[in-house]
Amino acid sequence: MTTDVAARMEQVLGQPPRLEPLDYEALGARELELIERLRALTANPPEKPVHSFFTTLAHQPAFFEAYMQLGITAMGSASLGRRERELLILRTGWLCGAPYQFGEHVISGKAAGLDDADIARIKEGSTAEGWNEQDRGLLKAAEELHADSMIAEQTWASLAAWLTPGELIELMIIVGHYHLTAFVQNSLRFAINPGRSGLAAS
């Protein structure tokens, strides 16, 4: 991502979203079921309206279902710890210049144990001072997947020393899922929520 946060925010958010969300009444039973499962995982109260990101994706019901199911699995069934997942998601969101994704996951990352100093270092990446070997390896994997579509040998060996085979698989799929999320949110010019800071979040 360009280091010019204001320019990137203007590029992604400076014009209206490209697609209008569907009305709640237009959602099918399967879409509503998946949304309710996600609400339960995120403790999102049922009285709150369905988020417009989901009602926009529902223009394509089959893809909506596949996308949602992967996200639910990543949140509800992953063996990787929540903090480790948030490190991967935040670094990916920053590298993709994804205002909505990065800003929202600053909040969830802090709920998972990250602090302001961690968020600042995530923006700098794996070379920043202060990471332990495990955190540095996770960030490095996200960077290598972003830049070269694979994890380098040295990084893999470092990760494999403490992650199970299943967790290694999860790592790659989570990073890929959040690349997909960034592609969709950025290309739709999906607006950030009121009071959020996007890429300027800290």
Q: Which H or E element spans position 138? A: helix 133-148
| Whether 58 contacts 64, CB under 8 Å | yes
161 has a pLDDT exceeding 70:
yes
Residues 37 and 95 in one domain: no
pLDDT value at position 112?
96
14 occurs within a structural domain: no
Q: How far is CA 186 from CA 58, 71, 182, 183, 202, in A?
A: 17, 18, 6, 5, 20
Give the tens place of pLDDT for each residue, 27-42.
Answer: 888 888 888 887 887 7
> What is the residue range of 161's domain?
82-200
Three-class DSSP category at 129? coil
What is the rounded average pLDDT of the residues 45-71?
88
pLDDT value at position 43?
74
pLDDT value at position 51?
83
> Residue 102, Cβ neighbours under 10 Å: how many?
31
Number of structural domains, the chain? 2
Residues 131 and 101 in one domain: yes
pLDDT value at position 84?
98
37 occurs within a structural domain: yes
**Which tokens sit at 174?**
């989570």
Residues 69 and 87 in one domain: no
Alpha-carbon dihedral 145, 191, 59, 91, rounded to 10 degrees? 10
